[in-house]
Every structure is written in C-alpha cells, then in structure tokens.
Amino acid sequence: MAIVTNKFRVAAASSFAQTFSTDSIYLVIGRPQSWSDTSYSTTFSNQASGTPADNNPPNPYDNYLNESSFWRDAMAGLRLNNSDVRLATTRYNWLPNTRYDMYQHNINASDPTVNGVFNLADSNMVVYVTSTGNVYKCLFNGRSALNTAGSFSTVQPTTTGAAPEVTADGYIWKYLYNISSAEADYITASYIPVPTTQNVSTSSGIHVILVSAAGTGYNSSNTTLTIYGDGEGAAATPVISGSSLSTITVTNPGRNYTWAKVIINGVGSAASATAIIAPAGGHGNNLRQECSAFNVMIAGTISGYANNDFPVNQDFRSVALIRNPLVYSTDQITSTGTVATATTGRITESLNMSATTSITPDIVLSGGSSGAVGIAVFVSSGTTQLQYIQPVPADRPNAILNSTINTSTGKLRQFQNGEPVTGAGYSNTINSSNGVTLYAPELQPYSGEMLYLDYRQPVTRQAGQNEKLNIVINF
C-alpha cells in the first residue's frame, strides 16, 4: 500500500504555480447569454439539478462538449503572470473559546487530533489573526492524560518573534508570518496565502512533551525527567497535580532530534510522556510544507474595457484558464500559429457597422440577406464595432435550427458586407467603407490547453469597474 504525501502535493502546486512564469496562461471569460437560453446555446440540461438558470448554473464536465461550447461563448482573455499566483492554505481564523489542534509528529488514525482528524493538513492547527494579519501554528493546546480533549483557546497570540509564545490559557503558539495589506487580493473567506520566507525558532527541537499517562504516587520534590535521543540539549520540568504527572514544561528545546525517549524519575509509578519532535529544520523552516499549502490561488483583475478587448455593460457566466492559446490566424479550428503573449486578447468577432448605434446586450441579431444569426455582446460607445458570438445548442444537435446553417458549406451562416442587421430595438447595416467588414478575434478559439473551467452565476461588468476573480486549484 502506498500514499501520496502532503509534500508531494505542495511540490505539485509549486510546480504548477511556476508555469505562470514560463507559459502564457490566460484567464478567459464568456457566456454573456443566460444559462436558461435554449434556442441558440448549449444548455447542459443533463448536468444540473432542476432547470439550468442564472441562479442555478450547471456543473461543468471534463469533456469536449463543455470545452468547445465555452469557446463559442468566449469574449476575451487576460494574460496572467507569476505575480498573480500564490500558494495558499485553508483559512482558520483565531476565535476565542475555540479548541485548536496542535502539531504532533505522530498523528494517525489510531491517535487523531483533539478535533478528530488524523492528517494535520485537515486540522485547524494554523490560524490567522484578522486584526493583525499574523499567522500562527499551535504547538500545544493543553492536551494531556488528565485533559485528553485539550483546552479552549481564550487568549489571542501576539508574538512576532522566533521563539514560541505561551499564552495565559496554556496554549503555545509559534509565529509563522504576516500577511500584509499588499496581499489582500489573496485573502478569501476560505484561504490565505503562504510565503516562502522562514522564521525558525530552533532546528528540530522539542518544544512540547505530552503526558501520555499521569501515573500516581508522585510528588514535586523528587520527580525529574531524563530525555534521551539523537539530538542534544533538551530539558524539561515535570508539573505534579496531586500525586499525578499533570503536564511537562520544556525549559530547553535542544536541537537536531528525530527521536527522543522521556524517562520519568521519582517515587511514583506508571507515568509516561512522549516528546513531540519538530519537523526537519524546525518549526517555521518550511512554511509551505508546514501549512500544507497545496492550493494554488490565482487572482486576476479585469480593469474596465481593458485595451478595448473586454466588453462592459455586459455580464459573464463562465471562466476558464487556457494555457498557451495561439494568436488568431484563421477561422479553422485546426489552425497553427504563434503562442499569444499580449496582455489581453479579444475572442469575439466584430462587425463594422455603418453607424454608432447602441445596442441591448444579448439580443438575437439576424442578417437580412445572409440569414446569419448571432447574439449581441457589446458596442463600445462612439464606435461602429459590434461584437457578437454564434453559439449553438451542441448538447442537443437536433435543436440546431436548419435556417442558421449554410447548406452549401455545412457551417453556420455568416454575416455579409452591405446587409442589414436587425434585433430587438436595433437596426443597422454592415459597412466596409474603411476596407474592414469583419474585425477578426485576437486569440484563436479552441487553441491551447484548457486547465480549468467554472460555471457561475452572472457577474455584471460596468464601465470603469474592475473585477477581481479568485480561482483556487487544489492539488
């Protein structure tokens, strides 16, 4: 039997995060039309409970239907880089009267934490103090043979030093790092970022010794401890309650231990204790490993019209990460070309209209002579460029209207120069007086590798508005 370790998961997350420095990864938004659209769009009716609607988005599936449908609805992409990516861990706020798990090197299914988990990656051992931005690791929570459930934390940790802090409630906290206001984009309700810095107290020392059995017949005057192990320098003092071993106070953590044996010396009997060994290098040596930062958090910000590529006064419902899409070169899916590197890229096609006429988003457009059909996406104020998409109900091919298909080519009908284009409350004519009938996309649809796909409730974009999109990928 084998396992994939948390360290492997952190390494995989770190490796993926590094690709944002080496590859062109774009955050692409799409689906301006409602999820309840049934005439011209893929509705994914077999993928959600109830009826797909804007308040009940469907669930994406990892298949080509979802991928190709996304591209047909895509509007624009924003290139991300390594400054937009952080490794993250699960967020647990420090709150009074909460029982926190403590670090133990030997946690397993037979000996879980006080909160019942047997993998520290699933525990609330690492806490975030919202008032200061400090992040701490719980080294001791009062757990002992006389208090197997541990204690509730009632005193907020405050130290920012390397040495662990013992608070008045008996907890021991190790300060790990601070999240500055500059990292606010990477703090969500569920996750916090984890840096690569270090804050080591001592190298592989013993900061906590747990009392496994309290024993009986002991007294404080003649009870002592001896610590054996492959490290050096560790020392501790027993605390006797009544005639039993209550807790143990570490007076010197020592260093360089991988194992230790604690001997209780005195007139009593049956007491035992277990030294808790710090991870390799000591607490605070490898923050990403200690915090189980196997989540990659991506924070992309779309600013307004963004290089005249992103529509405003419009909404979107689908988000994808595309690795190494190509620069647009042809309307053929199998086109080849160079990898896109621009900051942003438009994916919708645009018609050059004869007048600067505003339009209501998402109306169905019809070509007067070609019979082409499209969905209006955006007309920038004062321009003649009409952005549109041509989705089809690919999950219900029999529902694709024959009237939208050019029977001589087998493809969808396309708008033609000089024809009138009409829709609800809209009437205009395609005009190539400047030599341009169709403004081609900047990013090649269906190119690159789709790494992530998300269907959401509508997000409305307004002029002058920025949208921060947080994506978390778990490894």
Are 218 and 298 part of one and the same domain?
no
pLDDT at residue number 201:
66
Could you tell me if residue 114 is inside a domain? Answer: no
Could you tell me if residue 320 is inside a domain? Answer: yes
Are 310 and 453 part of one and the same domain?
yes
Could you tell me if residue 186 is inside a domain? Answer: no
Could you tell me if residue 63 is inside a domain? Answer: yes
pLDDT at residue number 381:
82
Could you tell me if residue 270 is inside a domain? Answer: yes
Could you tell me if residue 156 is inside a domain? Answer: no
Are 258 and 306 part of one and the same domain?
no
Are 307 and 454 part of one and the same domain?
yes
Number of domains in the chain: 3
Share of the chain above pLDDT 70, in %: 99
CATH code where residue 299 lies: 2.60.340.10
Mean pLDDT of all residues in the chain?
94
Average pLDDT over residues 235-257: 95
Could you tell me if residue 106 is inside a domain? Answer: no
Nearest CA among 28, 120, 19, 9 for reference residue 74: 28
Are 309 and 273 part of one and the same domain?
no
- Paired strand residues for 226: 263
Residue 204 scores a pLDDT above 90 = no
- Paired strand residues for 405: 412
Q: Select the more confidently predicted residue: 304 or 88.
A: 88
pLDDT at residue number 202:
66
Average pLDDT over residues 344-350: 95
Residue 175 scores a pLDDT above 90 = yes
Could you tell me if residue 358 is inside a domain? Answer: yes
Are 380 and 433 part of one and the same domain?
yes
Are 369 and 427 part of one and the same domain?
yes
3-state secondary structure labels for all residues of the chain: CCCCCHHHHHHHHHHHHHHHHHCCEEEEEECCCCCCCCCCCCCCCCCCCCCCECCECCCCCCCHHHHHHHHHHEEEEEEECHHHEEEEEECCECCCCECCCCCCCCCECCECCCCCCCCHHHCCCEEEECCCCEEEEEEECCCECCECCCCCECCCCCCCCCCCEECCCCCEEEEEEECCHHHHHHCCCCEEECCCCCCCCCCCCEEEEEEEECCECCCCCCCEEEEEECCECCEEEEEEECCEEEEEEEEECCECCCCEEEEEECCCECCEEEEEECCCCCCCCCHHHHCCCCEEEEEEEEECCHHHHCCCCEEEEEEEEEECCEECCCCCCCCCCCECCCCEEECCEEEEECCCCCCCCCCEEEECCCCCEEEEEEECCCCCEEEEECCCCCCCHHHCCHHHEECCCCEECCCCCCCEEEECCEEEEECCCCCCCEECCCECCCCCEEEEEEEEEEEEECCCCEEEEEEEEEC
Q: Select the more confidently predicted residue: 13 or 196.
A: 13
Are 6 and 33 part of one and the same domain?
yes
Are 76 and 56 part of one and the same domain?
yes
Q: Among 38-42, 194-198, 272-276, 458-462, name the most confident range.
A: 272-276
Are 261 and 397 part of one and the same domain?
no
Domain span holding position 76: 1-86+293-326+444-475
Q: What are phi and psi of 69, to 5 degrees?
A: -65, -35
Residue 240 scores a pLDDT above 90 = yes
- How many residues are there in the chain? 475
CA dist., res. 83 & res. 367, Å (int): 44
Are 361 and 423 part of one and the same domain?
yes
Whether 183 and 138 have beta carbons less than 8 Å apart is answered as no
Average pLDDT over residues 125-153: 97
The pTM (predicted TM-score) of the whole model is: 0.90
How does pLDDT run across 35-44, given as a tens digit for each residue? 999 889 999 8
Are 430 and 354 part of one and the same domain?
yes
Whether 274 and 104 have beta carbons less than 8 Å apart is answered as no
Residue 141 scores a pLDDT above 90 = yes
